Amino acid sequence: MSSVNNKLIECVPNFSEGRDMNVIKQITDVIESTDGIRLLNVDPGKATNRTVVTFVGSPEAVCEAAFSAIKKAAEVIDMSKHKGEHPRMGATDVCPLIPISGISMEETAEYAKRLGARVGKELGIPVYLYESAQSNPARKNLSVIRAGEYEGFFKKIKLPEWKPDFGKDEFPARSGATVIGARDFLVAYNINLNTTSVRRANAIAFDVRETGRVKREGNPVTGKIVNDTKGNPVYIPGTLKSVKAIGWYIEEYGIAQISMNLTNINITPVHIAFDEVSKKAAERGIRVTGSELVGLIPLQSLIDAGIYFLKKQKRSTGVSEKELIKIAIKSLGLDELGPFKPEERIIEYLLKDSSKSRLINMSLSGFADETASESPAPGGGSISAYMGALGAALGTMVANLSSHKPGWDERWEEFSQWAEKGQHIKSELVSLVDEDTNAFNKIMTALGLPKTTDEEKKSRTAAIQEATKYATEVPFKVMQVTLRSMDIIKAMAETGNPNSVTDAGVGALCARSAVMGAYLNVRVNAQGLQDRAFADDIIKKGEELQMKAQQLEAAILKIVTDKLK
């Protein structure tokens, strides 16, 4: 799959088979064989007898892969023999399309409608649209559409109000029906309980889910249902917005779970859902033992969780991305039921193009060896970025040590904020290590373009100029970002843990060298630019940044040497 797509959507079909890996593989094979598709995750569940598959690609490629998968599922899954804990109504139970980049929800919904029409016409499978693809408010909600499940749909499909959006109003016993739609990113998340009671699990689910529970007179379980003036049941809302939840028993694990769909993780993130369920469970004498992610999760969700739990401990949040994810996994108990591998469960990690981060994935000795080789890259630009990253890392280290220094407990938040800034700068500079080499490689690619005709020569010259301009901008960015780190280093030299003042000093030396080294690359690359106004301007700005770095270095070293007296 190409790493560059103007429009990118995700598809997360749920197939009603979670036990027979041969059947599952037949379905995923047709997805993977579709040009322009990248299969990200296959997550089978034995107890639910259901597999959640995640793949991404261009809208056209995704719709083609989804159609092929729905067709194959109808061939290899017999719904008349299906049993499982999860509600379901078809071999491909639900097939949502999710906008990832370069495409609106409205456009995505149109693709869902086209896919639904094709499935209904060519495969003869009844299709219901849901969420953003559905114009009828009464039929937008998946659980409302699926009510009655497979067994009840033979009669339900004949009701005028439940005529399919596409396909005949006849329910095929083998394939069942399919729900296709467009929605925002949804996190499917199960929370583990130290009980086997589905009734108690459901009680907790009703406590937290947005719709809550039906209001009753007297006894909350057996009392008479309270209706409004129109005869509809009155609901007591739950405590979490944008959350759907039910309780169930998972025989595979021998425990009850709260099965949740977090439909808007900006409103209710994973860590808030976990803590609220923990609270409600404790009120009922039940303990949360861990949790389980179904499918994939955005990186930011786990970063936010790591920060949340560190703040609860009054610990510095200015730690690496890897450490934040580790804290999140342990705090949420995501590894209780099996290993949780971030590289396989975080969507950004699966989409990452490793060819563009070759250098930063090397060992220290490997990076040094590569630098010393006869290859011209990595060169001074990448080394400057790495020196800047090391300087920022040292300033961040002093902030973290200061945050955890005995006797300075009341200042943990002050230093945590400095450390968090330092981590962001360090991460940006680390990415620029590879980006500087990538920029150099773009120039080499442009130089290799054909130059036989006048048109080819013109195109080649334009490509060289564009690549050279970018190769000038990258080291300038290194200068700007590194200079920001020197404010942190200076603050840590002044107010941080005095035992680490020399670390701040070394950080200043790294940062100044990074700025000066990057400036050399700005100047040499700017020499090849035909746009002299741009070249002169960036050189002038670079000189100013270099002077500021030298001044800050002198000020920091004075603080350090004064404290060493």
- Residue positions annotated with a catalytic role: 86, 436
Q: How far apart are CA 12 and CA 150, in angstroms?
A: 20
Torsion of CA 308, 312, 318, 319, to 10 degrees: -80
From CA 421, how far away is CA 454, in angstroms rounded?
Answer: 50
Task: Give CA 93 to chain center in angstroms.
Answer: 24
Q: How many whole angstroms separate alpha carbon 191 and alpha carbon 256?
A: 9
Residues 6+ apart with CB under 8 A from 287: 193, 194, 278, 281
DSSP state of 131: E
In Å, how far from its chain's centre is CA 269?
Answer: 12
Tell me how far apart the alpha carbons of residues 127 and 166 are, in angstroms, rounded to a whole number: 5
Tokens of 514: 């990074």
DSSP letter string over 182-193? E----EEEEEEE
Helix pair angle (380-403, 412-447), 10° resolution: 170
- H-helix segments, 77-213: 105-118, 142-146, 149-156, 198-208
Handedness of CA 53, 54, 58, 63 (dihedral sign): positive
Q: Is 61 helix (H, G, I), strand (E, B) or coil?
A: helix
**What value, to the nearest 5°, has the Cα angle with vertex 9 and ends 6 and 12?**
165
Q: What is the rounded distance in angstroms from the CA atom of residue 364 to the CA atom of residue 385? A: 15
- 45 by DSSP, 3-state: which? strand
Name beta bridge partners: 44.
51
Q: Give the C-alpha separation, 1 to 467, whole Å.
A: 24
